[in-house]
Structure 1
C-alpha cells in the first residue's frame, strides 16, 4: 500500500472495518490487487513514425465473480491510479450486489492528439497486449474517461480476431449493432439521477428551487445535468476541461449540450468544443465552480478535485460523486465536520457498471432488452441499494460513504469466507 492514491483509497476500507465482523483472511486479501499488468504498445502513426504507449490493466479482486472495469485514455494515467480505480470497482460491484469483482485499465496519452486511425491502432494494440489477461469469464473491460462505444467496438473486434470467434461478452459499452445494450451510454448519469431522486426528498429538497452545479460536462456530467434540468432542478453552473459557466437564474442545459455536440468536427472522435463558448453567462474556473453557494454539487470529472486545500471552501450541503474518487479521504473528514453530506461514488456512479452487467447478461443469453426494460431494472437496482445503504448509515450513525463500504464489505466477506478461511481450518 505504498502508492499514494491506493493508500488514500485504503483509508476508506480501514474506517469501514470498525463496523463489520470480517475474518483476517478477507482483510488481508482486500488490501492488495490480485494481479497487475503493465504493457508497452507500439503504434505506427499516420506520418510513418513509431510511438510507444504505456498501458495498464489491474484485476483487484475476483471473490464474487469475473472482474469488471473501464479503460481510460488520459495523460495522467498511472499504475497507481488504475489500482485505485480497480479497488473502488471491487466495492462498487459488491455494494450493488453484482456478480463481479473490480478491475480497471488505462493508457497514458492525450487522445485528442491522435487521429481516428491512430486511435484504432492503439485500441487494437492494447487488446493484443492484454488478451491473455481478459475474457468474458475472467475480466471484462468497459468505457471510461475518453473511451466510447466506437473504441469498445474496436477492442471487442480485436479480441474476437485473436480468439477466432465472435466474443461480444468480453467488452461492454459496445455499439448496439455489435451487441451493446440500450441505455449503456447514459447509464452512469441515469443511475446517479435515481440515487438523487431517492435521497434528496429525505432532506426536504424538491426539484423546484434546488440549485445544482456540475463539474465536468463529458458523457456523465452532461447527461446528469440535463436529467436534472428536465426534472425541474435549477442547474446554475457546468464546466468542462477549459473552464466553467455560471448563471444564477439557471442554465439552458439542452442548448449547451447541443452547442457542445454541434461544434464537434465531422471526423473527430472527441468533442472539440467547450462550454465556455456559450454566451450570456459568467465565466468561472473549475476551482471556482466547486466553491459556489449551491444546494447540490456534482463532481463528474476526475479524481482528487476536492482536497484538504479547498474542502473548507465548499459551500454546497450535498455532494453526489458522479466521478470516481473526486474527494480525498482527508477532505472527507473536513466536509463531514462541516455537516456536508457526501454520497459516494461506489453508489452514485454505479449505474454504468450495473448496465454493463445487463449488457453482459444479454450477450450471454442472446436476448436483448428494450430501453424501457433496461431503465426499469436500473432504477430498481439503484433505489434498492440506496435504501439499504441509507438504513445502515442511520442505524450505525455513520456517513453514507462508510455505510456503502460496510455494505460492500459484508458481501465480500461472505464470498471470501465461503471459499475457506483460517476460521474454518482452525475450528
Structure 2
C-alpha cells in the first residue's frame, strides 16, 4: 500500500462529520479485546500529537494563508481525536484505563522493537520497554488493592504481570534522557514511523497521568501516578530526541500525516470490533486527503516533492498488536540492570561511583520506604503475604522471583 497513489474520494470539507457522528457507542470494558482498547488509546494519542503539532506550527508561521490551510486539517484531527477518545466508556475507572495504557506501552514498544532495523533505536525501545513493563506490575498491584480486580481479567491473559526494571531505578538525571537524533534523509522508513509513533504514544501517557493523577485517592494511589508520571516525562524526552530536528515544519507535517495514515490502515486490517473497524477505515480515508494536502503545501511553499522527505511511499509491515511475552522475557533477562549514561545504555555496575545517576536517584527517591512504587508492593505483600502477579513461568531474572520481598536495588545499586 502506497497512500500517495491513493486518490481521496472526497475533499476535506466534504468529509466533515456532524457532532452526532463524532459520538460513537463506547466499547464494553469487560468484553472488548485488550488490543482494541490499546488501538483506541494509541490513536487518541496520535491525534493529540497531531493537534499539538498543528498548534505549534500555527504559532511559528507568519503566512496567514498557510495558517488557514493547516487550521482546516487541525480541526479535522481534533474531530478524529474526539470520536476516538469518546470510545472509552464512562464506567471504566481511571485505574482500569491505566492498565490498558501500560499494556499498550509494553506490547507496542516490543512489537516495534522486534521490527526496528536501526540498532540504536531498538536499544532505546528495549530500554523503555522494561520500565513500562514494571509500571504495569505496580499499577496491577494497586488495582488489586484498591478495587480487588486482578489485572489479568482485563488483559485476558495476553500479557504477563511481573516485575520489570524496578521503577525506583528509573529516576535518572535529565542529561541522561537525551538520545542521538536520526537523520531522516538516510533513516529507514520503519525507524521514522516507529519513533514518531512512540513519541506520540508516550506523550499521551504522560498527559493522561498529568491530568488524572491528582484525581486518585490520597495516599499510595495518588503518589504512584505522580512517580510514574515523572518517568513518562523521561520516555517522551527519549523518543522525541530520536526525531530529526532539521526537518522543516512542512516536512514534519508530511511525516505526521503519513504515519497517521499508516496506523489507521494497519488497524483497519486487524480490528476485530466491526463498528470500530469502520472508524479506522473512515479515518484512513480522511488521512489520505490530509496527506495529499501536505504534499500540496510542501511543494507550494518549499518547492519540494514528497519523495525528497520520505525514502519510499510504500508502507512497511503493518502494525499488528499482539502478545509479545517471549520477547519481553528475552529483553528482561539481558538488560534488566541497564541504566543510561548520556546517549548510551550500560549496566549500572559499570558506572563510576560518582556518576550523576546515583546522586539524582538518591535525591529524588529520598528514603526507600517512602517511594510510592515500592510502597504499593510492600502493602500488597503485608496484606496477602505475597505480591500480585500473573506469570506463564517464573521470572526470567532470578533477583525478581521472590514474591515476598520487593527488589529496590536492581538497576539502581552497584553489585559488590
The bucket for the TM-score relative to the shorter chain is under 0.3
Higher relative contact order (CA 8 A, sep 6+): 2
Q: TM-score, normalised by structure 1?
A: 0.23
Give 1 or 2: higher strand fraction.
Answer: 1
Give 1 or 2: higher helix fraction.
Answer: 2
